[in-house]
Chain A
């Protein structure tokens, strides 16, 4: 099928059975790819209520039709499963080269079921698929394991791995690839670990058929050159997202001291320019990327190599745990990467523990040592305890929400998460639309679906009207890139125009979709993942959409937005508006009418079968 690898690979680790089925054309047309395929597959194949770490859960890896082609930055793959962090729909996206590789091997989706009896890795060379012994990799760092396998299998293999944290089932373990790219969020590395799979190695030698070869080449070139010509490309390449921390601090959005503040004193020394001078050894990009954001670093004082720190890491390890020395952040980034931990959640959990200690909720005996913000030894101690699930680490490894429930006191108020997923890099008490974006993200507190801090600044930070609509629009556009297998940063960061995508999509797949059609499909997926959460949790709805009390009860402590708080009334207004515009009921659940309008009749039937009352 044009634009597609053409097949779905299914591997049952318990029985050792595997099969390769052609990708149904209906599926491609209806769900495009990647996140669309994942959401549909998990809906169809997962029984509600299953144990996220049991063999009944499935790990689905999928990419989209533009991946591996000449379209700029077609190098994205997503992993999906029922999330061990949130208990609802989980998904995380990652760059690098493995998305393209799986298509050359002939696959748009790989469904991993059951669990292997012994530590194993998946070896996939075109249609030769094997479950191989991985005891020699078990226990190794994520990056080290990738290196070992690469040396064994050769340069032509693209490999993703988990670290010790994934093996130990830490709830925020990531999947790592290309020596520094991660699918970090919602515990996809945890699911991989629960299946006893240390790595997936893929090598493909086939071509991707294109509907209109000549037009696809011409358009691909035009798009690439369009990106090359952007004024800010050079700036972007020099610093990647590392150019952002200073700006985020200036406008008061930089997570600081477990989100007590949005302003970090001394943040200028985290600037991309300083990072570049001190540590960057090469720019590193994903497949087909015209604007490589990876800053590959050598951190001299610690003698380690690491990719990044990119913005999120600098925000959550730097700001949130109060480190202003970029080399320290680089080192801690390295530790997380080898251990296989999501730096966003790790920075949250550790910042939270430090605050608990400061407030006396945790004492030295419980913690195992004195914990201090800005102390490398404290961070290192905690991150290693977490990955090993030892002592205090065994509680923190379950995520910030669970830890707060154990520690008690007021700590749940400053456990910075939504739906059980720790917050990514923007403090948003002074940015209502961005707060709403976090509140309504289907995964939990993550910025990947919508990010709108600039919108709040442009139309007024206190304004609430119109914010919900902006968030909704973005929730369709941004994750649209996670349907097609492309990076969104060319659009978001260097201003490459959206209009190009439907056109090139036609040349590659032959499907005649307009921009609107594609956005409709994106909206359909949005409704499906919301329904997924409801099918899992009978009481799902509005009450799962609130941020922690810190954001509506406590004011920002320092910086330009000191004194700001977003009142509960404001949150209610935002949610009311949002649900209404989405065509959902007041409790934030999709209505029958909305689901039918989206062509999701099968969802209506299923929800009813599980006794959910649709309005």
Chain B
């Protein structure tokens, strides 16, 4: 699973967010999704998708060493995480976020659920699908 983007195709439906929260938090709550959709309206009229590209900066800055890597995917250990938010600050993609009800930040684990339900191919799995 290699998550890739084709932002021009995004229609802003946020289905990706709903399934992300359902899958990773067993909650119907897009505010707990690790993907963010930002609309740029009225001009120039496009959507921006913010999602982690597994660059690892978060792991490097985490003072609690709570973020580990496995097969190229960075995962937060919720036990170790102190909720300090350093990683959120440092993330160059602006793809991590904090929710008032969660101590650990919300971060993409590359489960691929969003890509499965993105009808538009705006988020897709570059391992199985050609660039759109």
Q: Which residues of A contact B (CB under 8 A)?
A: 68-70, 97, 100, 104, 143-144, 147, 155-156, 178-180, 204-210, 213, 216-217, 221, 224, 227-228, 233, 281-290, 292, 294, 296-298, 305-306
Contacts and interface: CB of A to CB of B under 8 A. Distances in A.
B93 to A, nearest CB: 16
Contact of A70 (B9, B15, B31): B15
Contacts of A284: 11-12, 45
B18 interface: yes
B28 A283 contact: no
Contact of A305 (B22, B36, B42, B116): B42
A289 B27 contact: no
A298 B45 contact: yes
A210 B28 contact: yes
A290 B42 contact: no
B14 A282 contact: no
Of A68, A284, A289, A292, most B-chain CB atoms within 10 Å: A284
Contact of B31 (A69, A144, A156, A288): A156
A210 B11 CA distance: 26
B41 A221 contact: no
Interface in B41-71: 41-47
Contacts of B44: 281, 298, 305
B29 A104 contact: yes
A84 B62 CA distance: 59
B13 A288 contact: yes
B73 to A, nearest CB: 22
B12 A147 contact: no
B112 interface: no
A205 B41 contact: no
Given A284-B11, A292-B13, A143 B28 contact: no
Contacts of A227: 119
Given A217-B22, A282-B45, A224 B15 contact: yes
Given A70-B22, A147-B42, A205-B101, A287 B13 contact: yes
A35 to B, nearest CB: 23
29 contacts: A70-B19, A104-B30, A155-B36, A156-B31, A178-B39, A204-B31, A207-B21, A207-B27, A207-B29, A208-B29, A209-B28, A213-B26, A216-B28, A217-B23, A227-B119, A233-B119, A281-B44, A282-B10, A284-B11, A285-B12, A287-B13, A288-B14, A290-B13, A292-B11, A292-B13, A296-B45, A298-B44, A305-B41, A305-B45
A216 B36 CA distance: 23
B52 to A, nearest CB: 18
B8 A282 contact: yes
B29 A224 contact: no
Given A179-B42, A205-B100, A224-B15, A282 B47 contact: yes
B42 A143 contact: yes
B26 A305 contact: no
Given A155-B38, A179-B39, A281 B28 contact: no
A281 B29 contact: no
A290 to B, nearest CB: 5
Nearest to B43: A305
B117 interface: yes
A385 B101 CA distance: 51
Contacts of B28: 68-70, 207-210, 216
B105 to A, nearest CB: 15
B99 interface: yes
Given A69-B18, A292-B11, A282 B31 contact: no
Contacts of A144: 42
B31 A104 contact: yes
Nearest to B46: A282
Contacts of A207: 21, 27-29, 32
Given A97-B14, A228-B119, 10 more contacts: A104-B30, A205-B31, A205-B101, A207-B27, A213-B26, A224-B119, A282-B8, A282-B11, A282-B46, A292-B12
Nearest to A224: B117
Contacts of A294: 11
A292 B122 CA distance: 13
Nearest to B28: A208
A42 B62 CA distance: 55
Closest 5 CB pairs of A and B: A292-B11, A179-B41, A207-B29, A285-B11, A207-B27
A205 B99 contact: yes
Contacts of A283: 9, 11, 120
A127 B12 CA distance: 26
Contacts of A228: 119
Of B10, B19, B117, most A-chain CB atoms within 10 Å: B117
Contacts of A209: 28
A208 B101 CA distance: 14
Contacts of A155: 36, 38-39
A144 B29 CA distance: 29
A288 B29 contact: no
Contacts of A287: 13-14
A292 B11 CA distance: 7
Contacts of B30: 100, 104
Given A104-B29, A104-B30, A204-B31, A288 B15 contact: yes
B11 A289 contact: yes
Contacts of B13: 285-290, 292
A221 B18 CA distance: 11
A216 B21 CA distance: 13
Nearest to A281: B45
A70 B23 CA distance: 11
A178 B27 CA distance: 25
Contacts of A289: 11, 13, 15
A204 B100 CA distance: 11
Contacts of B36: 155
Contacts of B23: 217
